[in-house]
Structures are given as structure tokens and as C-alpha cells.
A and B are shown apart, each in its own frame.
Chain A
Amino acid sequence: MSQAATELIRISGHAGPVPGAGLNREFRVAKLVDTTTCIGCKACEVACLEWNGYSFSETTFDNTYQTMPETAWNYWNLIKFNEHEREDGTLMLLMRKDQCMHCEDPGCLAACPADSAIVQYANGIVDFQEANCIGCGYCMTGCPFNIPKFSPKARKVFKCTLCNDRVSVGLEPACIKACPTGCLHFGTKAEMKELAETRAQQLREVSGFAAAGVYDPPGVGGTHVIYVLHDAKHPELYGGLPKDPRVPLSVRLWKGPLKWIGNLAMVAGIVGMAFHYMRFGPKKEEEIKPDDRRQQ
């Protein structure tokens, strides 16, 4: 956030400690989604469209309240509904607000080949810079949450910005603003984590959800959107939230060892051929010896 530009860490010719340094102000932001208090009203979906300037898309009815099967390039925020039958035969209507998770270790960014098409701000927001996007779709392969979506019209990829334009001027994201139950919170990552843990503890100790917990997956270094779930042991119940999301191994191999092996092989090949030419020189045609009938 903008405060980072005003906080000093070193001062020249200054006796004593730097005023304000070491306060460990937390600039990392997070959105907390408490699925246990979400009523599925979709106000956040509408607010997202309004703030980002997209019109309503056609909905797909699939016998639930869900607007469409998955997020779209112009529909970044989607409540996923799941009618879950518990072991004791009772039903639960699970609702989870699906959007970009703003990973600490973003797979989309790792996979992207275009200079500056995806950036990560110091506050943790992962943002697409569409002007630099070339529309290759590698981010869609790198993302473990199925979030970046390709627009065939623009030939570029879009996703939730965590309202970076609002956050950068001290406002909370549009979805947070619209939530009527207060299941959405926005603040620093530390504050949100603390609030989430408190709520999870309450669910475990007071509300009888023994498996309640916080979803902040370590496989992607933690996320800047965190969930409180009634059943943190089965996140996949909540509209397919992955249990242990990681940047795909193939993306890691491709951007890691393969790159080095490939580069080394290309350079070694060129050097090897140059050496061969210097050592053995060109192949020259010989003069025909017509009587040469080599005995094999």
C-alpha cells in the first residue's frame, strides 16, 4: 500500500534509531471469505460487475442457485453452490465466493512468457496488465484454481484484480462493500488471518463444527484471499476448492530444469559444431576414381 513509500528504514547522519522503523507495519492485504455466514445473495457478483464495468451475462441454470458453471473473463466473482449431504443425513447448502486467490507464489505469473503482463504488488495483489498480455493462455495452465479466463474477442486473459484500483486509493474491494451479512472482510493479511482463526475456533467450540478451519493453502505460499470453512478437511466440497493447490509440476519443470537443459544443449550444440569445423574442416568432394570398385 501507499504507506510503504513514506515509511523510513534508514536515515543518513542520524543519531539513534530511525523513527518508525521496526514497527513492522503490515502492508500485505487479504480478503477473508467466511463461508459459514454467506447467504448466497450474490450482491458481491453484482458489485464486481458494476465496479469493473461489465454487463450482465447470460446465466446457466443447473438446478442450483449458481449463476454459471465457472467464472468468465467478464465475470470474475461467482458464488459456487453445493448441496452437501452429511453423514447423519442432514443437508447443508455450501456456498463459496469463487474468485482469484491472489497466491503468494502465483502459478499464472510463473507460466506467463510476456514481459509485464502479470505483476505482483508488494501488498500481495496479483494483477494482469492486459496491455502487455499476448493471449497465449499459459496463465490458465499455471493457475491451480481455474481462474484466468480468455476473451476470444479481446484475445487476452482477464481475472479478478482484488479491486487494485480501489485498494490503491484506500478503499476496500467492491465485493466487500456490497456484502450484507459481513461474511466478507478486508484488511491486512495478519488481521484477516487472526479474525479467521478466531471465527474457526468459535465454529469448533461453540457451533459444533469440529473440523472448521481456515483455508490459506501453503502449497502456493498462502493466498491473499482466505476462507473460513465449516469443514476444512474437505475443501473440495465447496465448489471444487483444491485440497492442496500447487503450481503444476509440469509448469515447474518447464520453467525450471527444462529451460536450463534446453539452453545448455543449444549453446553446447553451436559450440560443438564450431569446434568440429575448426578441428576437421569442410567436407570436400573427391575426384572420381572410375575403377574403384571397393571390395566390401
Chain B
Amino acid sequence: MTTDAISRPNTGHNEEMVPRYTLAERVNHWIGAFIYIYLLTTGLAFWSPYLYWLAAVVGGGPVARAWHPWVGLIFTVSLFWTFKEWHADMKFDDSDRAWAKAIPYYIENEDDKLPPVGRFNYGQKLFFWAMLYSVIVLLLSGISLWYTEALPWSWRFVRYAAILIHASVAMITIGLFLIHVYMSAILEEGSFGSMVHGYVTRAWAWTFHRSWYEQVSGRARRTS
């Protein structure tokens, strides 16, 4: 920040921090994150013989088999709590449609050409809902894989469906996970820190979530 007050004469608070995530939200996020990494590790071990060594990293095949379902349940609880806290902020609205149309600007890092967004942008909302529905499907298919022996032979179509669905949907969540990690930990500077200490700079909020910034900073426009 070599330039000083001259370049931003009326603000002077680019560096001031705005609270973005509560302590509970952050704790829950990191519980979910580490649990997802465990589920990813053990799941990939069962996915491919070339990745079976991953099971050894977390205690061996039988241990991974025994824990994966239980840990999956904890992930579901964590995600459902997130749903309880965030579903209002995650509702799609008209601004999302405008934002979705302008998505090439987002991809090319021309964020100033994007319409203002609230606490979460269209991409974050897509991520949230896709993860939520995926986890519901993973839970249902996972339960039938958990207790395969309890499914009678005449219900074997459930086994056949579950085995295919669980792997396919897990792949979808891996895609979501990779994009999420890339965008929040690597691409968008300031995002990762906000999930650690809970704050973003005013400039960050103004740049990436302008409607939300205007709300929380009391600068909301009266019109529209």
C-alpha cells in the first residue's frame, strides 16, 4: 500500500475489517473440511486399487471401512447445521440471474464488470446447494452400502443402484470440493483468512460482495 490517503481520499478505511463469519460458522466449516478430507481419502482408497494405499495412511482398510460411514454421518450433521444457518443467504434471486449472465467476467477476473452481489454470489450458492443435495444422496446410498448384508437378496437392485450412485455423486462432490478449495484458498485473496479469523477488509467486501458490504456498513442504497 504505497499510495496513501490521496488515492482514496473519502474512505481511508480500505484496511478496516468487517466481520464475515461467526466463530461457530468457522469452527463448523473446519470440522466439515477436515471430515471431508478424511472421507475423500478413504473413499478414494475404495475407488481405485492405485489409491488403495491411502487407506493405510488413515489406519488401514478395515478401519477405513468401519469409520467412513460414521464420519460421513458427522459430515451430514455439519452440513445440515450449515443449511440451518445459511439457507436464507443462499436463496437464489434476480441478481443471481444477472450475475450468472456475466460469469465470463468473473472467470477472467474482471470483477468490476459484475453486478453487485449479496453475502454469497451465484457460484457459492450453486456450490452450497449442489453439496447439500449430493450429501443427501450420498447419505441414502451410503446407508445401503453400510449395511449391504441387511438388504434382502430380492432387494438387490438397491445394492446395484447404491454402488453406482454413491461413486458418481462422490465424484461430483470432489469436483465441487476442488473448485471450492481453489477459489477460496488460492484464487481469491483474503477469502481463506476470513474463514480462519472471521474478518475481511472493507475493500474486499466492496470488491466481491458489494450489496452485502453496503448492508453491513450501513451504506445500503435506499432505492431498488
Contacts and interface: CB of A to CB of B under 8 A. Distances in A.
Nearest to B202: A288
Interface string B1-14: 00000011011011
A281 B111 CA distance: 13
Contacts of A93: none
A252 B207 CA distance: 49
Interface residues of B, number: 58
A265 to B, nearest CB: 7
A284 interface: yes
A147 to B, nearest CB: 10
B189 A276 contact: no
B175 A140 contact: no
Given A113-B45, A281-B109, A137 B208 contact: no
Contact of B148 (A133, A140, A270): A140
A286 B203 contact: yes
Given A141-B163, A155-B62, A277-B187, A285 B203 contact: yes
Contacts of B190: 285
A150 B202 contact: no
Given A259-B47, A269-B178, A273-B182, A250 B161 contact: yes
A288 B203 contact: yes
B221 A293 contact: yes
A60 interface: no
B178 A262 contact: no
B161 A288 contact: no
A290 B189 contact: no
B198 interface: no
A270 B153 contact: no
Given A250-B163, A273-B182, A283 B187 contact: yes
Is the interface on chain A under 10, 10 to 19, 20 to 34, or 35 or more residues? 35 or more
A266 interface: yes
Interface of B: 7-8, 10-11, 13-14, 45-49, 52, 55, 60-62, 64-66, 98, 107-109, 111-112, 115-116, 145, 148-149, 153, 156, 159-161, 163-164, 167-168, 171, 174-175, 178-179, 182, 186-190, 201-204, 206-208, 221
Given A134-B62, A254-B164, A259-B48, A286 B171 contact: no
Interface string A129-167: 000111111101100001001101001000000000000
B189 A283 contact: yes
Mostly helix, strand, loop or mixed at chain B's interface? helix
Contacts of B60: 134
A290 B159 CA distance: 59
Contacts of B64: 134
B145 A283 contact: no
Contacts of B107: 276, 280
B108 to A, nearest CB: 6
Given A265-B171, A266-B171, A273-B178, A138 B186 contact: no
Contacts of A284: 189, 207
Given A140-B159, A251-B160, A285-B201, A155 B66 contact: yes
Nearest to B174: A266
A115 B52 contact: yes
B65 A135 contact: yes
A138 B109 contact: no
Given A269-B175, A291-B10, 13 more contacts: A113-B52, A115-B49, A134-B55, A140-B148, A258-B168, A262-B171, A269-B178, A285-B204, A288-B8, A288-B11, A288-B14, A294-B116, A296-B98
